[in-house]
Structure 1
Amino acid sequence: MTIPIMLTDTFYWITSALHQSPLLMTAIDIVLKSIAVLIPFALIDALFGAKLNNTSRHLLWLNALLCLAILPWLPALLSLRPDVFGGGQSAAASAWFELTVSSQQTPASNPFNAATVLLTAYLTPVFLMLARLLFALQISRNIFNNAVPIRHHDTTDLLARLRKQLAITRRVNLRVSDRIESPVSFGLLRPTIIVPVQARDWTASIMTDVLLHELCHIKRLDWLTTVMAHVLGCVFWMNPLVWLAVKRLREESEHSCDTAVLNSGRSDTDYAESLLGVATLCIQARRNTGRSHALMQTMLDQNTLKTRISRVLEENKMQASEMQKQIRKTIACLLMLSAGVLGVLGATQVLSAQEQRDPPATRAAGDEEMLPLHNEQPLYPRSAAEAGIEGWVHVRFTVNAAGSIDENSLAVVDAEPADTFNNSALAAARKFRFKPRIRGGEAVAVPDVQYVFRYKLQADPADLLDSANPATSTD
């Protein structure tokens, strides 16, 4: 019997946390939806990835992560939809909420309540991983500052010629450093290619292939997408599919640049030899340094080198026209898939958040409904708990344009039994905070907001879960 009791207590603790913090509920909602966003893309890659070219596979995972980046902003974007029914703005409606208060709940004044613990457990890894990314950016900057510019005329002329061949208008810095073990590129407005000191032993053919590969990364803005992918990994760290997406995006960006080098006219056998040659010359440096740079686009990864060389040598080359045709089809399919997935998830989120009787179309574009941000958990009066008394309190108040409670409007409408739970309900209501209602681009007050506090000696966990959302919205 111990395990069922523990499971029940855990479920009660979690639902209590959701009840106390709508912000926590929103965060969990977004994380769960992020899994739903990535599942279709993972299935497409598993079922049809072998039939797609490298660029199409890269677009698949890039599109998946872009959908993930849009997900938190989806409600705001959907609020900008035009009023397709032509309806005007509906009259302001009062909101009716219901909360369940249990004598067994942890007091809201406890700084270690369930909502605080769960939010801390989620946000702590987020901030730690974001700090690690900032540290990685600083390392990249230090490597750049300590790297020595390459002024050898043959090499700089080669870089200029290849940059013109790829139609790259941005200035590209070329430097050498003893702090890296593989050619890398990074930066957006002023991109940089840094080669290891082993580059002095490279042949002209190897140097050409290396520069072509890194310039392809620069042209495709791969450094920017890499940073975006890592930031999304930090935010959605609980979603295992996010880390799969980050890994696959990085792998496919390398394969795509390999394909671009071959399409520029380089021989597949010569390019494979260049990859192997650079790996051989740099492998000792990797053993000596043991460093890896997450936010640099590293040309060589020992874990994927064998696969890359195999693809270079074994894959049939697609004609340029055929490749472009497949890429266009891939983009069209991905746009339709993204619109469908985000549309379904966006609609689900709006309905679950508002539960209104008035249809969404009756609001003008840009208008937003009031939503609870913080519901203070009332304390169950000790005297009532000891006497075994249950009851309810119906309160009414106005939420001002700042999202706070207008003290003068706060009043008890009715209560059963009279006066037993009134002070507890009023004290909690004073601390409520809301996201203001938006009308015509401005925050407005919402009068006649009504809450019913139900005091139960032993609440059903389902009551706590249901009470986190508005029960109804009436005129």
Structure 2
Amino acid sequence: MSSGLLDRLYLPYLYGAVITLLVANIIMEYGYLQRLIQHGRQLDIPSVKLNVLVHPDIESPMLAGFIAPSILVPISFTLLDESQQQAIIQHEVYHYQRGDLWANILAYGLTVLFWFNPLMWLSYRRFRQDQELSCDAQVTANMKAKAKIAYSRTLLAYSQHAPLSMLHTHYGDKTILKERILQMKKQHGKSTLALIGMTLAIGVSAFMFNQQVFAGNNISVENKTDSMAMPVIRIEPSYPINAAKEGLNGYVQMSFDISSNGSVGNVRVTKSSPKQVFDASAVEALEQWKYQPSATGFKDLQVQLDYVIHQPEKSVERITVK
């Protein structure tokens, strides 16, 4: 049997199987969201026509449901001040008024039909992200500087919890957090003091809410054996709290081996600065990395993890001294 005939017999089954899996996934998600809505505790917010429900399993505010949409919020929502609560509610209400949930399911349906085209998935993600930017712009258009700072804090509070769902909005999308903050800065105008105040507030609130910052923005790997050792999973190390409080920057250089199944082992620190400050965090992260499987594995690879909590101004000349 020719390969062309095999392709014609095989590809339709593959296409149908993938679509079946994607549709099954969205049906399961619908059932999960309905259970959340049914078991949510009603919050009394008279100014909102939609039901606002608090649920312990929710980590970020969302609008969910089609026939009778509800706003689901995490328990931490009740700890926010009234202005922050109102800003979140307005954000989700604007999603509802525009019919974003129906638009999302339509966009997802088109993406499923053309699941084999990566551009469809990229376009779908950008479509969802633009929705969040649009709602932010609507909510913060007439806000004063203090209100924008409060809104920025809520974004930071929920920025670590943002699964891209087809059936609900995703308020805490950390992948476009910087873009959302910059958008609010541009809206504010030319007040330098207000921008500085917002930046300081964002930095402080990020530390208070997340209690850690992530290192590894600058990761360099030197493979002395083979340039084809490709990582498939990189775990970012957590920034030690004491180092973050003191505003310390630093780096850790390590050597390590890769087994034939892609696991990392035999991690040893070869150089670090400041000594013993970031070592444990870096080793713990590197041991969780995964590489593509290979026939024999690799020995004595090197990596440097840079811990940078305060980036220098772009106008400052930087000279590397070795």
TM-score scaled by structure 1? 0.37
Which residue of 1 is the match for residue 143 of structure 2?
Answer: 266
* Residues 164-203 of structure 1 mapped to structure 2, 5 A cutoff: 171-203=49-81
Contact 2:137 2:183 in 1 (8 A): no
Cα deviation for residue 258 of structure 1 reads 1.0
1:352 aligned partner:
none
Q: Which SS does the other structure have where 1:260 is aligned?
A: helix
Letter aligned with residue 10 of structure 2: V
- Measure how far apart 1:186 and its partner are: 1.9
1:122 maps to 2:15:
yes
Question: Is 1:140–2:130 an aligned residue pair?
Answer: no
**Structure-2 separation of matches of 1:236 and 1:268:** 44
Partner AA of 1:259 in structure 2: A
Structure 2 Cα separation of the partners of residues 179 and 291 of structure 1: 13
Q: Can you list the C-alpha shifts for 1:55-91, whole angstroms capped at 9, x where unaligned?
A: xxxxxxxxxxxxxxxxxxxxxxxxxxxxxxxxxxxxx
Aligned partners of 1:275, 1:139: CA distance in 2, in Å?
29
Which residue identity lines up with residue 301 of structure 1 in the other structure?
D
Counterparts in 2 of 1:173 and 1:266: CA distance versus 1, 3 Å? same
Structure 1 stretches (4+) deviating beyond 6 angstroms?
Answer: none
Query: Which of 138, 143, 152 is 1:275 aligned to?
Result: 152
Q: Please list, as runs of the form range in 1=range in 2, the aligned pairs for 1:356-371 lying within 5 A after superposition.
A: none
Select 2:107's aligned residue among 198, 212, 229: 229
Alpha-carbon shift at residue 196 of structure 1 (Å): 0.6
Q: 1:275 to 1:142 in 2, by over 3 A?
A: farther
Greater relative contact order (Cα < 8 A, sep 6+): 1
Q: CA deviation at 1:269?
A: 5.0
* Unmatched tracts of structure 1, length 5 or more: 1-8, 18-112, 160-170, 318-475
User: C-alpha offsets along residues 248-300 of structure 1, whole Å, 9 cap, x if unaligned?
Assistant: 1101101111111133x3235523432323532x468x4xxx97644210211
* 1:150 maps onto 2:39 in alignment: no
Q: Secondary structure at the match of 1:181?
A: coil
Output the amino acid matched with 2:9.
T
Q: How many residues align?
A: 189
Amino acid of the structure 2 residue aligned with 1:142: R
Gaps of 5+ in 2: 190-322
Letter in 1 for 2:47: L
Task: Tell me what 1:301 maps to.
Answer: 173
Distance 1:219 1:146 in 2: 25
Q: Does 1:206 align with 2:84?
A: yes
- The CA deviation string for residues 192-235 of structure 1, in whole angstroms up to 9 with x for no partner, is 11111001210011011011101100001111111122222221
For residues 249 and 293 of structure 1, do their structure 2 counterparts lie closer, same or farther at Cα, with a shift above 3 Å needed? closer
**SS of the residue 2:47 aligns to:** helix
* CA distance in structure 2 between the aligned counterparts of 1:141 and 1:310, rounded to whole angstroms: 35
1:18-57 maps to which residues of 2 (within 5 A)? none
Q: What does residue range 444-459 of structure 1 map to in structure 2 within 5 Å?
A: none
Question: How far apart, in 2, do the equivalents of 1:306 and 1:268 lie?
Answer: 17
SS of the counterpart of 2:67?
coil
Alignment check: 8 A CA contact 1:177 1:196 kept: yes
**Helix, strand or coil for the counterpart of 2:175?**
coil
* Match of residue 428 from structure 1: none
Residues of 2 paired with 1:249 and 1:259: CA distance?
A: 15
**TM score, norm. by length of structure 2:** 0.54
For 2:3, the equivalent position in structure 1 comes to 13
Separation in 1 of the partners of 2:140 and 2:154? Answer: 17
> Percentage identity across aligned positions?
23
CA deviation digits over 1:288-333, x for unaligned, max 9?
xx9764421021111111210111112478xxxxxxxxxxxxxxxx
Where 2:54 maps in the other structure, the secondary structure is strand
CA pair 126-247 structure 1, distance change in 2 beyond 3 A: same
Distance 1:316-1:207 versus aligned 2 partners, 3 A rule: closer
Q: Aligned match of 2:182 in 304, 310, 321?
A: 310
SS of the residue aligned with 2:68? coil
Counterpart code for 1:279: L
- Cα gap change, 1:157/1:240 in structure 2, threshold over 3 Å: closer, same or farther? same
Q: Aligned to 1:185, what secondary structure does the other structure show? A: strand
- Secondary structure, counterpart of 1:158 in structure 2: coil
CA distance in 1 between partners of 2:181 and 2:104 (Å): 22
Structure exhibiting the larger radius of gyration computed from Cα positions: 1
In 1, the alpha carbon distance for the partners of 2:186 and 2:159 equals 24
Letter in 1 for 2:46: D
CA deviations over 1:129-155 (Å, ceiling 9, x no partner): 11111111111111111111113xxxx
What is the CA distance between 1:183 and its match in structure 2?
0.6
Does the alignment pair 1:244 with 2:86? Answer: no
Output one character per residue of 1:21-56: Cα deviation in whole Å (capped at 9) or x when no partner: xxxxxxxxxxxxxxxxxxxxxxxxxxxxxxxxxxxx
Secondary structure of the 1:193 match is strand
Question: SS at 2:46's partner residue?
Answer: helix
SS across alignment from 1:304: helix
Structure with the higher fraction of residues in helix conformation: 1
Contact 2:55 2:74 in 1 (8 A): yes
Check 1:218–1:272 CA distance in 2 against 1; reply closer, same or farther (3 A cut).
Answer: farther
Could you tell me how far apart the structure 2 residues matched to 1:283 and 1:252 are?
16
1:457-468 alignment runs, 5 A limit:
none
